[in-house]
Amino acid sequence: MHTLETINQKTRLAYNKAAEKYYEMFFDELDKKEFDKNFLDNFSKYFNTNSIVCDAGCGPCGHVAAYISKKEIKVIGIDISEKCIEIANRYHPGIQFEIGDFSNLKFRDGYFDGIISYYSIIDTPKIYVKIILKEFKRVLKVGGYLLLVVKEGLTEGFQNELLGIETEIYLSLFTKDEIEKYLLESGFEIVRLEERTPYKDEINISRIFSISKKFS
């Protein structure tokens, strides 16, 4: 098995290659996804103008960070891909976007009131998911909230393309039971855990949405 560092570097290179195409395809995707917007709206209710939320794995679109930011909540977007951060900064100059590895964040313990992981852990082998969740928990305040979104399925492994661009990237799909287990074993209290069917213009697999709370 590859180390987490090796996996992360493959992810960085893959998204550097695909960032422009990714932006073109997905920059406005939330406009057509009422379930997603409603879930983000409910997540946002836990915060106020003094809160700080991390969009961990914000991608080139920065659209989730932008959606939360419009509610007058401070958001810091983090992504391992330099190209993704360059594009996110280009289109959302009023939001703070930084290059970073969300499995090893530079922020102090308890820095964030909330963390969003929107399809970002799916590029990681399942054996490393608890390492990431442990890091999320470290930088969350006690009583802070984590929004986690993944794609549903049973498989994991390397793919040889991303959005039709030849590259090597890991893809993990998760079941609802797996996400529940990972969150509980990592010390989170689950507030909401739901599955939605794919929209007609999405890849035909379900999505799993969760909100959980750091209780200690």
pTM for this model (two decimals): 0.97
Written as six digits, the tokens of 205 are 């697999």
How many Cβ atoms are within 10 Å of 70's Cβ, its own excluded? Answer: 10
DSSP 83-146: HHHHHHHHH-TTSEEEE--TTS-SSPTT-EEEEEEES-GGGS-GGGHHHHHHHHHHHEEEEEEE
Residue keyed to tokens 């991608």: 59
Mean pLDDT of 86-109: 98
Query: Half-sphere exposure (CA, 13 Å, Cβ side) for 38?
Result: 7
Tens of pLDDT, residues 112-162: 999 999 999 999 999 999 999 999 999 999 999 999 999 999 999 999 999
Domains of the chain: 4-214 (3.40.50.150)
User: Quick one: tokens of 45?
Assistant: 């209710």
pLDDT beyond 90 at 1:
no
User: Is the pLDDT score of 108 beyond 80?
Assistant: yes
CA distance 104 to 134: 10
Element at 81 (helix H, strand E)? none
**pLDDT of 111:** 98
